[in-house]
Amino acid sequence: MRRLDLLLALVLMLLALAVVTAQHRARTLFVELENLKKEGRDLEVEWGKLQLEQGTLVSHARVELLAREQLGLVTPPMDKVILLDSGNVP
């Protein structure tokens, strides 16, 4: 009977260690999950900012402003503009 008690005590200690290890692993994974969720939210915010910046950079007003200031382009006078009808183009 004494051997059985020792064996059961040993099994009980091993199971207790397994429970503690499993709980620690679960907590570690939970912390990692929360960190990844936060990183995902941060990336979504950055993505929104980048989309807004892209919209600003490609707006027609900005392109026109850059063409005028950096390239020195100007709108031609109306007597120099020739309008083509798309039906007449070969």
Q: CA neighbours within 13 Å on the CB side: how many for 3?
A: 0
The chain-wide mean pLDDT, for the chain, equals 92
Give residue limits of the domains in the chain: 2-73
pLDDT at residue 88 is higher than 60: no
Q: DSSP assignment of 38-63, as one string?
A: HHHHHHHHHHHHHHHHHHHHT-HHHH
Name the most confidently modeled range: 2-6, 30-34, 84-88. 30-34
Q: CA neighbours within 13 Å on the CB side: how many for 49?
A: 6
Residues 8-49 have pLDDT tens digits of: 999 999 999 999 999 999 999 999 999 999 999 999 999 999
Q: How many residues does the chain have?
A: 90
**Is this prediction's pTM over 0.85?**
no
